[in-house]
A and B are shown apart, each in its own frame.
Chain A
Amino acid sequence: MKKFLLVFLVVIMPIALSAQTLSVVRGVVKSDETGEPVAGATVRIAEKGIVSETDADGAFVLEVPSTDKATVVVRATGYLALRQMVNAGGDVNLGVLELKPDLYEEMREDMIISLSEAEYDSEDGIISSTQNISGLLTSGGDIFSSTAGYVFGPMRFRVRGYRGEYQKTYINGIRVDDAERGFFTYSQIGGLNDMVRNKDAVMGIDAATFSFGALGGATNINARASAIRKGLKVSQVGSNRTYTTRTMATYATGLMENGWAFAASASYRWADEGYVQGTFYDAWGISLAAEKRFNDRHSLSLTLLGSPTHRGQQSGSTQEAYDLTPRQTFFRTQSNRFGNNYYNANWGYQNGKVRNAKQVKSFTPMAILSHVWNINEESKLTTSVGYKYQMDGRTSLNWYKAADPRPDYYRYLPNYHRTIDNEQAAEMREYMWMYDETYRQINWDRLYQTNYLANERGMSGRYMVENRRNDQSVVTLTSVLNYKFTDRWKLDAGVEAQSTKGMHYKLVDDLLGANYWVDIDQYGERDNPGDANFMQNDLNNPNRKVWVGDRFGYDYNIYVNSANLWATATYSLRNADIYFAGSGTYSNFWREGNMKNGRASGDIVMGSSFNGKVYDESWYKTVNGSYGVSPTQHFATYGVKAGGNYRITGRHIIALNVAHGTNAPLATNAYFSPRVKANLIPDLTPEMYVSADLTYYFRTPVVNGRITVYNTSFWNSSELSSFYNDEYNTYINFAMYGYNKRHTGAELGLEVKVSPYVTLSAVGAYGQNIYTSNPNATISMENGLQPDTEETIYVKGFHMDGAPEIAASLGVHYFHPTYWFVDLNVNYFGNTYMDFNPLRRTESAIAGLDPADPEQASLINRIREQEVFVGGLDGITVDLSIGKSIRINYKYYLNINLSATNILNNTRLKTGGYEQSRFSTTHERYDRETYLDRFPAKYFYAYGTTLYLNVGFRF
C-alpha cells in the first residue's frame, strides 16, 4: 500500500518537473565465452523504459532518475538476456556484465527456416499463405515469442491466427512482403541465417520504430555488414528433414578502424531425398554486404541477398492412400507394415531415377542500399532503396485428352470402386497400390510412350511438364526518422513508396518426348467444339504450337503501387509510456493481359452491371475482357493506433494496445480469374479492422512472463480460394468477399528459474479465428465451362484453416556453466480446422434436402460441417535438444548441438487439409452422398522424428 501511495504521489507531481536527481549507471558488456566486448547490445532499465546501446568497446552509460531499485536488462543478438538488479540511488558502475551465448537461437532459427521451406503447395493451385513463419522470427523478446517460432512452427502455428498478409517484414528498412499476395516467403532468404540474425521485431500491434506495424507484428532484419558478428564461422549440418546436409560459411570483418565493414555468407543445402519420399533439395544462399561509416554521422551500406532454390514438393493425399502405402523405417527402408502419412503422389521413377513432377525453381535476388544519418546521439534518419527481382517457378504435369497421370487420381484407388459396388476392381487396386510401387507413383515411362505414339500419328503431345512462373520486379524507397525531442517525447515517422510489376505466365518445361504442344484449353474445346475461338488461350495466335521455353496458357502482369506515410509519437512518463500512431496509404493496382483469351475476348470495359444485376457505379466496379490494360483501381486507406504500458511496479507491468484502420484489398483477391480475364470481385471496399490487446507482464528474479488477451475484428474482408477440379481439368476460383471475421484469444508465456541451472517454461496460446458473417462469392471456372455465378457461402462460425488454434508447450531447460545445454519440450496442438470447399456451403448444395428427416439432416450436416483435427493424444509431441560449446586453444569455438523433434514419432498429427472440389449440387440425394464418399478430404501430417545435428566452428 505504501508503495502504491508513493507511486501515486509521484505520478500526480507535475510531469514537467524534469529537474529530478539523475543517477548515472555505466558498465561494459562482454561475451562470457570469448571475453570480447559486445557492441550494439541494448541496455535498458526495465521500469523506466530508458534504453541505450553499447559502443564498440561494449561500454554503455544510462541516466536514470534516482531510485533504489532498478533492473538492468541487457540484450544482444545471439546471446541470452541478462538481468541485474541495481541500486540506482547514486551513480553506479556495474563493471563487466557477461553475456552467455544463446546457442539455441541459431538452432531455433535454422528450424524455423527449414520449416518455412517445407511449405506444402496444395494441388489446388495458389501458393497458399501458410508461408507465414517469418512472423515468428521475433528475436528473443519474451519466452512466448521465442518458443512459438521453433516449437510451434512445425505445426504451422500462426500467431493470433493471422495469415501472412497481416505481418510485415523488412530488410534494412525495405519492405520485402509480396505486394500482390501480402506475405513474405522466407525461403527467399533461406540459408542466410547468419546474415539475417539481427532483428528488431514487435509482436502484434505494439509500436515499432521502423514501421507503423501490422496486426500480426512486424520484423526489421538488420543485414548491414556491421551488424554481422565479426569473425569467420563455418558450420555443417546433418539432418533428415527437408535437406540432409547444409554447409555454411560466413565471414564478417565487423566495423573496422577505417570505417569499413564487410560481410559475406554462402551456404549450400542439399538432399537427394528429404523426410518425404521424392522430395529433393538443392539450394544455395548467397549474401554480400559492405558498409562504410564516413564519420560519426553518416554511414552507407549495400547488402545483396539471394537464395537460388530447386526442390521437389510433397503432396497431400486422402487417408485411404496413406493407409495403403507401406511404412518407411527411420532408415528409409520399406517396412512390411502399412500406413504412411507421408505418401507423396508427386514423384515416380524414370529410367530408375526419382523424378518429381512438382518442383520449385526459385531465385529472388535483392539489393538494398541504406543510408543512416545519425542526427545526434539519440536520433537518426534512415533512408533506403531496395530492388528485388523475383523469379519463382513451380512445375506441374499437364495433359491433353489422355488418362490422368496422377497416381492418386480417385479411380486408381479402391474407394471409388467400392462406391459403385465393384469389389473385384477395388481389391485389385488395393493390392496393386500396396505391393507395386510403380503403381502408386507416377509412371513416367508410360507418359513418354504415349507421346511417342502421338508423334507417330503426327499429333501434338498428350503429356508435358509446365512451369508456372510468378515473377516480380519491385522497387522500394523508404525513409524513417527516429527523433528524440526530449527525454520524454520521441517521434518515429516514415515514408515509403513501392512499385511492383508482377509477371505471371507459364512455360513449357519438358515435352516428355512429344514433338510439340498446342496452346488451347482442352475443356474449352470439349464444351464448345463448334466454336474454335472459345478454346483459345491466345486468340491472336490461335492453335499455336509451342516448344520448351515458350510461354503459353496465360500471360498477364499485375502492377501494384503504394505510397505510405506514418508517424508514431511516444511519450514517456515516470511509470508509463504511451504512444499514438497514424498511417495513411495510397495504393493502386491494375492488370495488363498479354494474351487475348477466347473465353473473355471482348474489349475491356468498365461496367456497372454483373450477371444482369445493376449496381451503383460509385462502389461497384467490374471489368470484362482479357487483353490489354485494365482500369486502375485506387485505394486510400489509413490506420491509427494507441497504447502504452504502465509499470505498476518494476515487476508488474500492464500494456494495452488498440488499433483501427483499413486495408486495401490485395490484387490477388480482387482479380478472381486473372489467368483468363481482368474481371474483379463486385465489392472492392477496403477491409476495416479494430484490434485491442491487453498484456500483463511480471518480472521477478525467479518467475517472469506475460499473459495477453486480444481481439481483432474485421469487416469486409476478401480472400481467393482456388481449387483444381479434375472432372473439368480446370481451376475453379472462389473469390469470397464482403465478410467479417474475428480473432480472439489469449497467450501465456511463463519462465520459472527453479535452480541456478534449471528453468521451467510454460507457453500456451488459445485462439478462435472465425468467420462472423457469410461471404459472398464469385465462382468462376477458368475454362469457361460454366458462366461465372454469384453465391452466398454459408460459413458463418467456421474457423480459419491450416493452423492450430490451441498450442502449448511445457519445457525444462538445463544450462550448465560449462556450456552444456539440454532442453526438453512437451507440446500439445489442437483445433486445427480444415480448408473447406465453398461449393458445399451454398444454398444449392443442400437444396431439396429436408432437415426434418433425420437421415437427410445427417447428410446436410455431413455436407456442411467443417472438419477439425481436435488434438487429443495425437496432438502431443516431445522435442529434445542437447548442445555443447567447446573452447579450443582459447581462440576457436566449437559448437555442437543435436536436436530431435517429435522423439515419440507421432505421425498422426494433422497440420492441415482440404476438401476436394468435386461435388454434385444436383438435387438427387444419392449423388451428393456418393460425391462425399468418392472424394474425401486430403490431409497433411507433421513429420515424425527428425534430427538436426549442427557442428559449427568460430574463429
Chain B
Amino acid sequence: MKKMRYILTAAAVVLMLPSCENYTAPEPNFPVYDWEANMTIAELRSKHEITNPSQRPQQVTEDWIIKGVITGDDESGNIYKSLYIQDETGGINLAIDQVNMYNIMPVGQTVFVKLKGLYFGDYRGGYQIGAESDGEMGRWDWSWETFKDPTTGEYPYKHYYPSGVPDMSQVPAPTEITSGNDLTMDKTCTLVTLKNVTFDNGGTATWAVKEENTNQNLKFEDGTSMIVRTSGYSNFYADTIPMGTGDITGILSIYGSTYQLLIRSREDIGEFR
C-alpha cells in the first residue's frame, strides 16, 4: 500500500498543472547614437536636379550621414511604403518597400541615415532616398537593413539607425502656409500647416473613395487653392470633410508641378468653423 501512497501523492502534485514557462523577456533596446551628421537634407537635395523627365537616381558613394526626425509615417495608411524625415534645413521622402514602418520609425523618432549605398533622386518632382529600379527612383528593400552576415554577425547593408525613443517634442514645428503663393519647392517634404482654409466639398464628401486615391480641393483665405490627396486605404478615408474654415496639417508633397498635402492622420485636421 506504500506504493499506492506514493502514486497518489505524485498524482496530486501533478494535477496542479505544470504551467511554468519561464521565458525571460529581453530588455528594451533603444540604442542612442552620439554621431554627428555631416550632410544636411537641403544639401543632399541640391545635388540632384529636378527635370522632366526625371533624371536617374544617384548612388551615394561617400560616408555621408544625415540626421533628422520623422515627420510622417504610415500608421494611418495614408502614406504608403514611405516615411518623411526632416532636419533644420528641409525634408525628404524615404522610399522603403515595407509596410507598418511606424512600428520602427514613427513620427517623433530621431533617425540617423548612413547614405552610402542608398540612392537618391526624385519621383515626379518629389525628392526621395531609396533604390534604383530600371533607371527610375524605386523603394529600398527593407530586408537589406536586417541582413546579417552569418560569418561576421554584422549588418553590412544597414543604413537607418533610429536613435533613442520617439519624442514628439523633437518634431519640427510645422511651417505655416496662408496662401497658395507660399508654396515653394524648398518646403516640399516638410511638415506644414495650412491656415484658415475652406474645402470645396466641406460637409458633402468623404476624404476619399474606398481604395482609390482622391484629391480634395481647398481654398486659402486669399482665394488661391491647393489639393489634399488622400488614399482610399487610409483609416479615415470615410470621414466627412469638415465644413467651414480651419487649419490642416500635413506633409507638403509635389507631383509634377502640382502641390498636394498629405495628411498623416485624423489628428492633423484642426477645428473647422
Q: Which residues of A contact B (CB under 8 A)?
A: 232, 249, 251, 262, 264, 266, 282, 284, 286, 288, 306, 308, 310, 350-351, 353, 355, 361, 363, 365, 401-403, 412, 425, 428-429, 432, 435-436, 438-439, 444-445, 448-450, 452-454, 456-457, 462, 510, 512-513, 525-526, 528-530
Contact = CB atoms under 8 A, between A and B. Distances in A.
A428 B10 CA distance: 53
Contact of A453 (B25, B104, B236): B104
A457 B30 CA distance: 13
A457 B166 contact: yes
Given A264-B8, A363-B17, A439-B148, A449 B99 contact: no
Contacts of B150: 435-436
Interface string B181-195: 000000000000000
A352 B17 CA distance: 26
Contact of B29 (A402, A412, A449): A449
B168 to A, nearest CB: 9
Nearest to B162: A453
Contacts of B39: none
A425 B143 contact: yes
Contact of B25 (A262, A439, A448): A448
A403 B74 CA distance: 13
A436 B149 CA distance: 8
Given A402-B100, A448-B25, 15 more contacts: A249-B7, A286-B14, A288-B8, A361-B19, A365-B15, A403-B99, A412-B143, A428-B141, A432-B147, A435-B150, A438-B148, A445-B26, A449-B28, A512-B25, A526-B77
A445 B23 CA distance: 12
A937 to B, nearest CB: 25
B147 to A, nearest CB: 6
A310 B14 CA distance: 13
Q: Please classify the interface of chain B as helix (H, G, I), strand (E, B), loop, or mixed, using the class held by over half of its residues.
A: loop
Main secondary structure, interface of A, reads mixed
B175 interface: no
A786 B24 CA distance: 41
Contacts of B7: 249, 251, 264, 266, 288
Contacts of B11: 264, 266, 286, 288
A454 B206 CA distance: 30
B47 interface: no
16 contacts: A262-B4, A266-B10, A288-B11, A365-B15, A401-B100, A403-B98, A403-B100, A429-B143, A432-B143, A439-B146, A445-B26, A457-B106, A510-B23, A526-B233, A529-B235, A530-B206
A351 B10 CA distance: 33
A449 B233 CA distance: 27
Contact of B3 (A251, A310, A436, A513): A251
Contact of A284 (B4, B14, B25): B14
A439 B103 CA distance: 19
A454 B165 CA distance: 10
A264 B146 CA distance: 55
B106 A453 contact: yes
A445 B148 CA distance: 15
Given A286-B15, A425-B143, A530 B239 contact: yes
B32 to A, nearest CB: 13
Nearest 5 A/B pairs, CB to CB: A530-B238, A435-B150, A452-B28, A264-B7, A529-B235
Nearest to B98: A403
B83 to A, nearest CB: 14
B18 interface: yes
Interface residue tally on B, bucketed by range: 35 or more
B144 interface: yes
Interface string B47-77: 0000000000000000000000000000101
Contacts of B112: none
B268 to A, nearest CB: 16
A438 B237 CA distance: 39
A453 B100 contact: no
Contacts of A264: 3-4, 7-8, 11
B47 to A, nearest CB: 25
A231 B240 CA distance: 80
A438 B150 CA distance: 10
B8 to A, nearest CB: 7
A485 B4 CA distance: 42
B181 to A, nearest CB: 35
B103 A453 contact: yes
A416 to B, nearest CB: 12
Contact of A525 (B23, B29, B235): B235
Contacts of A365: 15
B88 to A, nearest CB: 24
Nearest to A310: B18
Contacts of A512: 25
Given A456-B165, A529-B235, A350 B23 contact: yes
Given A266-B7, A435-B150, A513 B25 contact: yes
A262 B3 CA distance: 12
Given A264-B7, A286-B11, A351-B26, A428 B106 contact: no
Nearest to A282: B18
Nearest to A265: B7
Nearest to A510: B23
A806 to B, nearest CB: 42
Contact of A355 (B10, B23, B103, B234): B23
Given A286-B15, A453-B165, A428 B144 contact: yes
A310 B18 CA distance: 8
Given A264-B8, A351-B24, A454 B103 contact: yes
B24 A428 contact: no
Interface in B74-100: 75, 77, 98-100
A401 B104 CA distance: 12
B50 to A, nearest CB: 27
B29 to A, nearest CB: 6
Contacts of B104: 450, 453
Contacts of A308: 14-15, 17-18
A449 B104 CA distance: 9
Given A232-B3, A251-B3, A448-B26, A529 B148 contact: no
B237 to A, nearest CB: 7
B236 A529 contact: yes
A438 B143 CA distance: 13
Contacts of B238: 528-530
Nearest to A453: B103
Nearest to B105: A453
Contacts of B14: 266, 284, 286, 308
A402 B148 contact: no
Contacts of B15: 286, 306, 308, 365
B141 A425 contact: yes
Nearest to B235: A529
A862 B236 CA distance: 41
A361 B237 CA distance: 43
Contacts of B237: 529
A355 B239 CA distance: 43
A306 B14 CA distance: 10
Contacts of A525: 235
